[in-house]
A = this chain, B = another copy of it.
Amino acid sequence: MSVTREKILTNARELFARNGIDKTSIRAVAAAADVDPALVHHYYGTKEQLFAAAIDLPIDPEEVLAPLWETPAEQLGDALVRLVLPLWDSPVGSGFIATIRSLMGDSAVNLPRSYLQEVITVRIASRVDNPPGSGKIRAQYVASQLIGVVMARYILALDPFKSLSVDQIAETIGPTLQCYLTGPPPGLPSR
């Protein structure tokens, strides 16, 4: 990669991380990298594409998400799952997972996993094991929603999500968790 392209990406990464995508313009990146804005456009296209390049995303998010804009709103729930999970099953996704895991460190992954899997899951599973054998999966669906809420609210601090009250969140995801625990039996792994 040329020195100029490298310099554009480095400055873009810094500005995106500091100010977010909305408040970062191609013009600002160009100024920081001391090049003409037209050159940034020429090398990287739209601001979203520059963002993808800056964070070294080996896919174009616009392209990946495109099918969603044709999906009727009533089918988006299913479509989102079927779009997002295979991304993580792909070679690109696996590389990304390996990076996250190494960033977090083995203990930061293994210790909470062990506790969730071997203590909390087992305890909760015994309360909702109906039909027999479904309890662990039920408990782990609950874990998935709770982990996600904690990530969205506290770690990523998504705006406006982070400003919801505990009551509001309980009202919306309480029924979800209840459905995972005592609703229709979820599919179980085949092995």
Contacts and interface: CB of A to CB of B under 8 A. Distances in A.
Contacts of A114: 16-17, 20-22, 51
B148 A149 contact: yes
Contact of A119 (B21, B112, B163): B21
A2 interface: no
Nearest to A143: B152
Nearest to A13: B107
A186 B166 contact: no
A16 B182 contact: no
B97 A20 contact: no
Interface in A99-115: 100-101, 103-115
A179 B180 CA distance: 14
27 contacts: A13-B111, A16-B110, A16-B114, A18-B110, A20-B110, A20-B113, A21-B119, A48-B119, A73-B182, A76-B124, A76-B127, A80-B142, A86-B166, A97-B154, A100-B108, A104-B104, A113-B156, A140-B158, A144-B151, A144-B173, A147-B151, A147-B152, A163-B189, A164-B189, A165-B187, A165-B190, A172-B187
The 10 closest A-B pairs by CB, nearest first: A148-B148, A77-B178, A168-B187, A77-B177, A163-B189, A78-B174, A140-B161, A144-B148, A144-B152, A81-B170
Interface of A: 13, 16-18, 20-22, 48, 51, 54-55, 61, 65, 68-69, 73-78, 80-82, 84-86, 88-89, 93, 97, 100-101, 103-121, 123-124, 127-128, 136-137, 140-161, 163-182, 186-191
